[in-house]
Every structure is written in C-alpha cells, then in structure tokens.
Amino acid sequence: MTPVTITARDGLSLPSYLTLPVGVEPAGLPLVLLVHGGPWSRDSWGFNPAAQLLANRGYAVLQVNFRGSTGCGKDHLEAGIGELAGKMHEDLIDAVDWAVKEGYADRGRVAIFGGSYGGYAALVGVTFTPGVFAAAIDFYGPSNLVSFLRTVPEFAKPLLVNNWYLYAGHPDDTEQEADLRARSPISRVDRVRAPLMVVQGANDVRVVKAESDQIVDALRARGVEVEYLVKDNEGHGFVNPENNIDMFRAADRFLGRHLGGRPDTQ
C-alpha cells in the first residue's frame, strides 16, 4: 500500500492509497476502486483485509479520500456539502482517470466496491457514470436517499442534523426532497449496463433491506444481471465470520468473471 496524492479536476488534493499485487508488473492491471463508508470516515495507511485479498487476486486497489472524508482538514470535509453524486463522485472518477493515465489500470477493467456510503457510491458509479465501470459491488448501500433518511431509527435522527441533513438534505423539505431523489441511484436505473452484486443484512436498521430490494427488483425487471446475497442474521455490516467468508468468496468470483482476476477455485 503506497500513499499517493491525486489532484481532482478543480484542484483539490485527494490523499489516496494504491495497493498493487506482488510479483506482477504494475501496468494495465484490472483495478478495484474500494470506497470507504461514512462518508464521514477515511482510508488510512495500514493493513486492510479487503485491499490485501484483492491484491492477492491480481487487482490494483485504489482507495480515495474524496471530499467529505474526515482527517484531511476542515476545508476538505466541508467541500463535500451538497456534493453527493456530484463532486464527491467526480473525485472517484478523477482517481480512476489518474490510475489509467499513470499506466497502472486497464480502462476497460475497472470495478467499484464499497459498503454503506461506499455501497451508495458503487450504485452511483453504475447509474450516473455507466461507461466507467465494468462491474460494481454494493454492500448495504442506500439506493434511494429519501427512503433511506426516512427509515433511519427515530433515536438516531437527531444525529443527522450535522451530517446527512447538512450534506445531502432533509426529506421533509419539498425542494431538498426533490434534490435527494435526483441524487439517488434508483432514479437512474435505466442507465445501468454493468453487472452488479448487492449484499445486504436482513436485520440492518441503518440501511434497511428495502434499499437493496428496490434497486435489485428494478434492475431485474429490465433484464440487468444482479447477484443478490442476503444474510438473515446480519445488520449494518457483517460480523459473523462465516458470512464474511461467503461474501468475499462471492465477490471474488464475481470480480473474476467480469474483470479477469484469478478467483479462488475452492
């Protein structure tokens, strides 16, 4: 894992991390853009099991602290206000362009993979920029920002004032509700061309199962390939080892089919 700084199209510096497979020439590789959750979180240098697994399978892995990420200063954080599916996503696209321009990545073999906000980013990737990604994996990400914010548990809603309501909008405000819908992947399902894998915990109260159900149903109705994995004994993020193993094995094979990595055959 190597720290790299990528410059966004508007000049903002994006602290990022590039992980490359060992013993493979770092040129023209299939790339997985691994997007952190939150989005009020950050990627940092250190052991990351998902990044190491993917590198072991022959992928370059790129993790980007896009605007809105924490730990990069107040200006970087506040640059994400109002930018869901906007400049926050453009940062990720700029990072992919950087990896291709630097010669690390094959433009035609790029996938996006993330959980929670990262899952939302994966869905945005295949709906707002359908020509960029050859495959996507959404791990418990919201597909409809309006229904997502309305189904947050009541005890947690006061905590949304300084994050989701500030950065994205309030669903009870008519104008902001319209903007939330416009920034929701469910509003652009007709643009999806890439194969998608969706993973969800049935007991998730933060991003409820209906968020995954609605986009899976909409895409399958259009004949788009969707692999859907649901675990009944999981909530927001998997904690049971056997379920994490199942999820990563399924992701491994999914990416192998669509990006040409070397999945585990066991």
Active site residues: 116, 204, 236
**Number of Cβ atoms within 10 Å of the Cβ of 257:** 14
What residues pair up with 114 in beta bridges, in sequence order?
35, 138
Quote the crossing angle between the two packed helices 117-128 and 87-101, to the nearest 10°: 70
Is the separation of the CB atoms in 103 and 28 below 8 Å? yes
Q: How far is CA 143 from the centre of its chain?
A: 11
Q: What are phi and psi of 81, to 5 degrees?
A: -65, 125
The first and second tokens of residue 29, run together, are: 């590789």
User: Beta strands of 116-204 (E only): which ranges?
Assistant: 135-139, 196-201
| Omega before residue 39 within 30° of 0, cis | yes
What is the C-alpha to C-alpha distance for residues 236 and 87, in angstroms, rounded to an integer?
26
What is the C-alpha to C-alpha distance for residues 10 and 149, in angstroms, rounded to an integer?
30
- State which amino acid sits at residue 185: P
User: Beta strands of the chain (E only): which ranges?
Assistant: 2-7, 13-19, 29-35, 60-64, 105-115, 135-139, 196-201, 226-231
